[in-house]
Amino acid sequence: MSAEIFYAAAGMGRKVRASALVASDGFSARYDLDRVRGLFSRPEHKLAGQTYHGRVLVLDAAKGGVATAWMLHEMKARGVMPAALVLNRVNPIMVQGAALADFTMISGFDCDITKVIPNYAEVEVDPQAQRPLIRLV
C-alpha cells in the first residue's frame, strides 16, 4: 500500500475530490447535524460547530437511528451536504441512505482511517476504482 493511498473494503457512488474533515467520532445525520445550517450541532461531537458542506467526512463509525437513510437524500436535494463519507465501520442505514441518494461513500480499512488522513487535507475518494480508495493529493 502506498503511504498516501488507503484502500476500503466497499464503496459506492462517484469519484470526488475535496478537503477532508476528520475526527475520531461517529456519524448520524439525525443526532449530529443541523442540516439547515450545514453544521455539526451535537455539543458532544468532536466536530461540533464545524461546517460539513462540501467536505469529505472521515469518521469512525456510523451511529444512531434509521433517519439517515432519508436524510442523505434530503440533504442532497437541498444542496447542503458532505462531498463524501469515509468511515472505518458502517451500519446498514448509512449504506441504504447512500444508495438512495447516489452518495459517495467508502468504508472498511486495515488501519484507523481517522488517524492517517490529516484534517483539511485535500483528498480524492474513488469508490469505482478496482479497489475503493481514498488518496491524499
Partner 1 sequence: MKLSHEEQAMRGGEFGPLLQWAIEHQIKVGDYLGAADFVPVTQAHIMADTESLGRAGVEWLEHWTALPVGQRQVRVPTITDPRGTDFAHAQKLKQQSWMLDLERRAIAAFEALGVLMTDTCINYQTIMPPVRGEHVAYGDTGVVIYCNSVCGARSNFEGGPSALSAGLTGRTPRYGYHLDAQRRATFVVELSSTPRELSDWGALGGIVGRLAGDYSQVPALTGVDCVPGPDALKHFGAALASFGSVALFHIVGVTPEAIQLADVIPVGFALPRHAIGEADLRAFQGRYAMDIGAVDLVVFSAPQLSLMEMRTLAGLLDGRSAKIPLFAVTSPQVKPDCDRMGLTARIEKAGGTVLSGMCFYQSYAREIAEGNGWHRLATNSAKLVNVIGGYGYRPVLLSMAQCVEAACAGGKLVARTQS
Return the residues of window 97-126 that contact partner 1 according to CB under 8 A: 97, 99-100
| Sign for the pseudo-dihedral over CA of 25, 52, 99, 11 | negative
79 binds partner 1 (CB under 8 A): no
Cβ atoms of 129 and 14 within 8 Å: the answer is: no
Whole-angstrom Cα distance, residue 69 to residue 94?
A: 6
Binding test (CB under 8 A) with partner 1, winner from 93, 117, 125, 133: 93
Residue with the three cell numbers 438512495: 100
Q: Per CB under 8 A, does 70 bind partner 1?
A: yes
Tell me: does residue 1 bind partner 1 (CB under 8 A): no
Q: Rule CB under 8 A: say whether 129 interacts with partner 1.
A: no
Q: CB burial class (10 A; 0-12, 13-18, 19+) of residue 31?
A: middle
Residue 14 interacts with partner 1 (CB under 8 A): yes or no: no
Query: Helix, strand or coil for residue 58?
Result: strand
Shortest distance, position 61 Cβ to partner 1, whole Å: 5
Helix, strand, or coil (residue 115): helix
Binding to partner 1, residues 21-50 (CB under 8 A): 26, 30-34, 41-45
The footprint of partner 1 on this chain (CB under 8 A) covers a number of residues equal to 39
Instruction: Note the residues at the interface with partner 1 (CB under 8 A).
Output: 10, 12, 26, 30-34, 41-45, 61-71, 73-74, 76-78, 89-93, 95-97, 99-100
